[in-house]
Structure formats: C-alpha cells, structure tokens
Amino acid sequence: MTASPGAIEVPLVTGGGGFIGSNVVRLLHDDGLHVRVLDDLSSGNRENLDGLENVDVVTGDVRDSDLLTEVMDGVDVVFHLAASVGNARSIEHPVDDSEINAIGTLRVLEAMRGAGARKIVYSSSAGIFGELRHLPIREDHPLEPASPYGVSKLAGEKMCLAYAQLYDLEAVCLRYFNVYGVNQRYDAYGNVIPIFAHRLLSGMPLIVFSGGEQTRDFVNVRDVARANVGAARATGLSGAFNVASATSVTINHLVDLLGATAGIDPEVEYAPPRAGDVRDSLADISAARDAFAYEPEVSLEEGLAEYIEWMRVHMPAASAPR
C-alpha cells in the first residue's frame, strides 16, 4: 500500500553538486522549495547548480560533525547522496571509501538526531547484492557485496534502518541500479554509459569487458530524482527499495544504441572480465511502485539521446571521428 504524501519543508541534499544530487536539487527547486546543499565538490560540480535560485551551497565534507550541525539546523528531510562511488575506485582506495560512505553516513544520522530531522532518503546501490543468484532481483535477494563499495553502501543502509528503529526518524534506502543521464561527467572509475559516450565522441575505441553479453538495468537520472522526492513525501515509510527501469540490455546492444544515437560507427575492443563486476542485472521494482508510486518514465533510447546532446555541449574538445 502506498504511504500517504507529506510535505517537504527544509530539504538538505548532501552531494547536491554531483550527478544524481544536482538532479534531485533541480526537482526540489522546480517544486518551489528552498534547498540547502552540502558538497565538498571533489567529484561534484558547482556548474550543475547554475541558474537555480533559492539554493544555498555549503562547501564541506560529510565527515565534519561541526559543519553538519550547522547545516542541519531547521532541516526536516535529508537526501543523503554524498559518497565515494564505484567498485573500481573502492578496490583501489578501500579506506577512503568506507570513511566517506559508512562513517560519513553515521555522522549525518547523528547530526539529524541532534537537529530533530524527521527523514533520511539514503542513496544505496545494487552493488550490495554481489553476484546474483536469480533474476529479477527483489529486495530480499541475499546481500553478498563483492567490493568495498558494496560493503560500505550496505553498512550505511543498515545504519540508516537501525536509526529508524531506535529513534523518531524515518529512513528510506534507495538501491540504485545503473544510473545515467544529464550532469554525469566522464570518470575513468564511473559507469559504462559516460565512459562509452566520452570515448565515442572523442573518436576512441570502446573497451568492452567479458564479451559484452552481460546485461545491465539502466535507469535515467530523472526517474531516480523522482524516486527520491516520492520516497521523501511518503509519510510513515521506512525500508529499502530498488530503483531501476525493470528492463535490461546487453552491453553489446548498448554500444549499438549509442552509436546509432550519436551517428557514429563505434570501434570496439574486447577485454577480460573485471574484478567486482556482476554478470547480469535486472531489478524488480514492485516494492517501490507499491510504497511510493515509483514508475520509470524515461526510455533508454530517449535518455541516451538527451545524454549525448548534453555531452556534446559539455565536451567542447570532443568531436566525432574524421
């Protein structure tokens, strides 16, 4: 049963200058809210928030307890997106990953408790599942993360849900699958779509691991932002929910779609499997649909067209192969 809708009064978005965070900020802003942002801008970008009025940006780290106490004053809902993201990055920097994702989340929760904030919407990850035993993936799938990133995101999720049990606080944990879309810049540690788009538009070959027949459930960031706001407005709701498109494609098909969208014939190089990568991914989103009326609206074809257009504007040095 869908929980009853509630008002958001003073939202704080940690990581609000980042890819997903900035899309959440924009949606809240477009709903007429005055939004508070905390971001150290290590991976986020102030440009992502350009043109948004009534958005106050505080530069700082979620591990800074004193700063969290200041920015939490008067806040009722926290969208906690600040994180160190990605399996590969976590394998190379496991201590940083856990300090930011696990300890940072605990400090956010403690600041919320001190300020009397009523709800946290925590950005979790499908990385908490590890190698998949069955498809589609429901929330009750075994949790066996295969990377420090998956472990740290699961630790943050469990801490949020424990605080919801212990204190007068609601916690909704959103398990994102493969998110892509506007404001997602190229990062060598990042997700496959921005890496492929960057290389395609730069005239570089696309590196495809494991033969390319592995599958992924790609979800557009606009749908993810709507999930965040919908979860925040659902009163009396705590728990963990998948956020995905509930469809999947192979990486080889993704290459074809990107090439057709960009009007470029991709050059592909194949490479061995990478540590920490799962073979297949497909989410069951019925729990989120029932709990807060989540419904993905952006098709992969529409989302890729929007993203390629955005990348061409924000990658002035990139050009199609001659």
Catalytic residue list: 149
Measured from the Cβ of residue 150, the count of other Cβ atoms closer than 10 Å reads 24
Residue type (1 letter), 81: L
Helices (H) and strands (E) in the chain, counts: 11, 13
How far lies 128's CA from each of 80, 87, 115, 155, 276, in Å? 17, 11, 30, 9, 11
What are the backbone dihedrals phi and psi of residue 197, each rounded to the nearest 5 degrees, phi first? Answer: -65, -45
What are the backbone dihedrals phi and psi of residue 271, each rounded to the nearest 5 degrees, phi first? Answer: -135, 160
Q: How far apart (Å, rounded) are the C-alpha atoms in residues 237 and 232?
A: 9
Q: How far apart (Å, rounded) are the C-alpha atoms in residues 5 and 236?
A: 9
Are the CB atoms for 108 and 79 separated by under 8 Å? no
Q: How far apart (Å, rounded) are the C-alpha atoms in residues 117 and 11?
A: 10
Residue 156 CB contacts under 8 Å (≥ 6 apart), including other chains: 80, 101, 102, 104, 105, 106, 122, 124
User: Cα 13–14–17 angle (5° rounding)?
Assistant: 85
